[in-house]
Structure 1
Amino acid sequence: MSRLSSVLTTVVATTACMCATAPSAAASDPVVSRGVTVPAFYTPPAELPSADGALIRHEPLRLGLSLPGLDGRPLPGTATRLMYTSTDSSGERVAVTGAYIEPSADWRGDGPRPLVVVGSGTMGQGDQCAPSLALEHPLALGGGSVSVGYDNLAVYRLLATGAAVVVTDYVGLGATDRLHTYVSRVDQGHAMLDAARAARAVPGASVTAASRVGMYGYSQGGGASASAAELQRTYAPEVNLVGTYSGAPPADLAEVMKGVDGSALAAALGWAINGFAQAEPGLRDVVERNVNATGRAALEDVSTACVGDGIFGHGFTRSTEWTSSGRSLAEVMAGEPRARAVLDRQRLGALRPTGPVRLTTGVQDDIVPHAQSRQLAVDWCRKGADVTYKAVVLPNLGDKLLTNHLAPLLTDQGDAISWLADRLAGEPAASNCRSMPLQP
């Protein structure tokens, strides 16, 4: 039985009990996902440490684009694969994987070397799609899966500033005991904050408890970094968070569902539904009653898919094909109080973020809609946050093709990294909340 079948049992049949966490396989048993073998390292142990951010295990990681340096140190740095603890939205202890990179570049600022936690954009839901694996294999075409480490460029540019970088795989992406809880606000925010904690315990790491910490993410990662900034004050107050970059954050999933539906990234609807059905009993019932056989097959398929597989297999699919009523999934969710409650709990902007935040969104973005991302900046400004908001103005590069969503990632990346580097160096930020109209 596949992971989705075991996790979404009540979606497929009503005779079995739904469990939030699947049993862990033996530590020596690698998992095969879509024809790709996931190393045994990614199988969590049966017992986890009780502290958040505790380092469970580590091993050397070979970066796919590493080069020998003149001083004998590899460029851009020395990488370590990680597994560490976190707490999910249900309050359960979970194992999260990722990677820490000690840069070859010297840190020339004041104080100890700073740390940037990188939350990757959408990679998929199969364990073989994990960002830490993408650091090792930037373009993976093995088996029946296609994965591209498109955030590696940002990682390398951050390392060039002299900051250390830790990349989180999020909850269930990589770690083989559960499905990835795609765009789950609490799971993602906790995973990023706990990555900062775990990085300090990596042998040979130069970061310390006093290191300034930055959060970086675009798209799914933008939502994760935004959540980390909102949750830091109560969940990880000892993490010295000095700046957060949040690009194209999916702040209001009810609106994002409409943007994703029928787009090249339509599979993301399935990833979100799968992840929330795993953790939310009320949503499992909604899915069971409203998703037809075609939809169940699609949810099963995307549960092991990377972003490339999702585009090739489900690109431009409309969710009306997945429902028994012929209504879109957004319409189904809007008509179900329990489903609406799930989406309401995921909304960003109810909490004031810690430290300065740079929020960027493309005005033409039709996948993660510009208006809902901008609204997050407005909500934060109203709460007195230190927000630098930038609207990236580009021409329309093609409806629902992902181009309008991805272009700002590339055109703004240099400025975003420079802004974050300034925060890591202790320079103050200049909020533009007062000059930004607080009405869309």
Structure 2
Amino acid sequence: MIRTIAAAVLALALMGTAAQPASAALVPLPDNDPFYSVPADIGGVANGTVLKSRQVAVNAYSIPLAVKAWQLQYKSLDSHQQPTADVTTIMVPLAPWLGKGPRPLLSYQTAEDGVGLKCTPSYSLRAGLAAGVTNSSLESALMATALGRGWAVVAPDYEGPQSTFLSAGQSAHGVLDGVRAVLRFGPAGFPATTAIGMIGYSGGAYATSVAAQLQPSYAPELKFAGIALGGVVGDIRSTLDAFNATPLAGAAIIGVIGLNRGYPEANLSSVLNAAGRQAMAVSAQDCIADAITRHLGKKITDFEATPNAIDLPWVEKLMRDNSPLGVVGTPSAPVYDYHAIPDELAPIGPDRELVARYCAAGAKVQHVEDLIAEHISETVTGAPGAMQYLADRFAGRPAPNTCGS
């Protein structure tokens, strides 16, 4: 599979004449880029409205992709239903689509997993290797495999301008309004009959799942052909406990920061001691790899003001309300759910519970479990099955259903 990904990146680079990406020095961090500034007085603007657009050059691992690409800023809502503006990146292959009907559109949610705009796919797709080690950068190769199938790909910065990691409403709205914006953006040329899919792994599956659950009520006009969820974080508390049992435990601080930003009225920082508040301050712009390195050897218990603060009822409720298992709604499209049984970071138990809930509500789900892989390797080994599932849905083939088996 690794060879397949590398070949896909190379093939896309050679598939046509793509513009060379700007040098790292010419791609400013989003914090210094006026394009990301949220316009004033957008409360009365329809969700999914394009506010700004620009054509950009994009790349995977600094290899230019043979696509026509734009970035859009669009109106959306945060987790409190307040107006905000998110950014998404559209990539349309230069090679003609040879399949039946219009070119399919895939909304690819990276595991943004960070509390700084440098963690976003919009930045990594422009800056390439200069963006550093972020999940969005690493997943650009998987986006390339989808582009290699001839699909158009859209990658939203679904955490929003404040990087509110693990805020379910913001994430769901960011994904769904991003699709709305792309379909409304005339230069990209997507007709009303375009087949649309969604995919995400780990943190990306978190965003994809909550978007899929809210779609019937929030964006009922959007019709998805299929949805793929890999290594989904079904329950935030279970994942936090899993991280706390590994050397990666220090990364949990970005979850605290994200939820504290998304729900400032909860004052989550009040359950932290001086070391915890200092950790929040120094990690205020961290991606997950930054936080792991910065707080190596630390556990969330090292940051608690009182023992077992994480067990306080209001803290548990905050985590539950922002977990897929705590978010109401059922996907209206067929779902492919894949998960490694030994997954050490996103335990499979909550995912099985989520699948059971989808099935009980009448969703079509193909659930696939891997006996050998773990969380990181499943990102790669599980991708071919997910891509083929989406290809079959785009082709109009009946969706398999393992519910009840």
The two structures have a TM-score, normalised by structure 1, of: 0.80
Deviation at 1:252, TM superposition (A): 0.9
Aligned partners of 2:249 and 2:298 also within 8 Å: yes
Aligned partners of 1:248 and 1:368 also within 8 Å: yes
Residue identity in the other structure for 2:91: I
Tell me how many residue pairs correspond in the alignment.
376
**Distance of 2:62 and 2:278 partners within structure 1:** 43
Among 151, 176, 179, which residue is 2:139 paired with? 151
Q: Does 1:340 align with 2:310?
A: no
Q: Does 1:308 align with 2:303?
A: no
Query: Percent identity of the aligned residues?
Result: 29
Q: What is the correspondence of 1:409-420 to structure 2 with a 5 Å cutoff?
A: 409-420=379-390
SS of 1:86's partner is strand
Structure 2 CA distance for partners of 1:348 and 1:147, relative to 1, 3 Å: closer
Report the equivalent of 2:33. 39
Among 120, 133, 149, which residue is 1:130 paired with? 120
Deviation at 1:113, TM superposition (A): 2.0
Q: What are the Cα deviations for residues 258-317 of structure 1, in whole angstroms up to 9, with x where unaligned?
A: 012253543442222222222335531x531x2111101111122211233122212342
Q: Does 1:377 align with 2:359?
A: no
SS of 2:157's partner is strand
Residue identity in the other structure for 1:409: T
Deviation at 1:170, TM superposition (A): 1.3
Report the equivalent of 1:56. 51
Q: Does 1:393 align with 2:371?
A: yes
Deviation at 1:37, TM superposition (A): 5.9
Q: What are the Cα deviations for residues 352-407 of structure 1, in whole angstroms up to 9, with x where unaligned?
A: 21110011111111111122122211221122210010111216xxxxxxxx3110
**Distance of 2:61 and 2:128 partners within structure 1:** 11
Deviation at 1:83, TM superposition (A): 0.9
Q: What is the correspondence of 1:27-176 to structure 2 with a 5 Å cutoff?
A: 38-48=32-42, 50-65=45-60, 75-140=65-130, 146-147=133-134, 149-172=137-160, 175=161
Aligned partners of 1:209 and 1:239 also within 8 Å: no
Higher helix share: 2
Report the equivalent of 1:12. none
Aligned partners of 1:213 and 1:243 also within 8 Å: yes
Aligned partners of 1:362 and 1:408 also within 8 Å: yes
**Distance of 2:240 and 2:214 partners within structure 1:** 24
Deviation at 1:219, TM superposition (A): 0.5
Report the equivalent of 1:324. 305
Report the equivalent of 1:407. 377
Structure 2 unaligned blocks of 5 or more: 1-26
**Distance of 2:236 and 2:194 partners within structure 1:** 33
Q: Does 1:430 align with 2:394?
A: no
SS of 2:289's partner is helix
**Distance of 2:324 and 2:281 partners within structure 1:** 28
Aligned partners of 1:66 and 1:76 also within 8 Å: no
Report the equivalent of 1:4. none
Q: What are the Cα deviations for residues 220-253 of structure 1, in whole angstroms up to 9, with x where unaligned?
A: 1101111111111111111121110111111111
**Distance of 1:85 and 1:220 partners within structure 2:** 23
Aligned partners of 1:361 and 1:374 also within 8 Å: no
**Distance of 1:377 and 1:104 partners within structure 2:** 37
The two structures have a TM-score, normalised by structure 2, of: 0.86
Aligned partners of 1:247 and 1:361 also within 8 Å: yes
Residue identity in the other structure for 1:222: A
Residue identity in the other structure for 1:283: A
**Distance of 1:279 and 1:291 partners within structure 2:** 17
Q: Does 1:253 align with 2:236?
A: yes
Among 212, 225, 229, which residue is 2:212 paired with? 229
Residue identity in the other structure for 2:331: P
Aligned partners of 1:76 and 1:156 also within 8 Å: no
**Distance of 2:361 and 2:129 partners within structure 1:** 42
Report the equivalent of 2:9. none
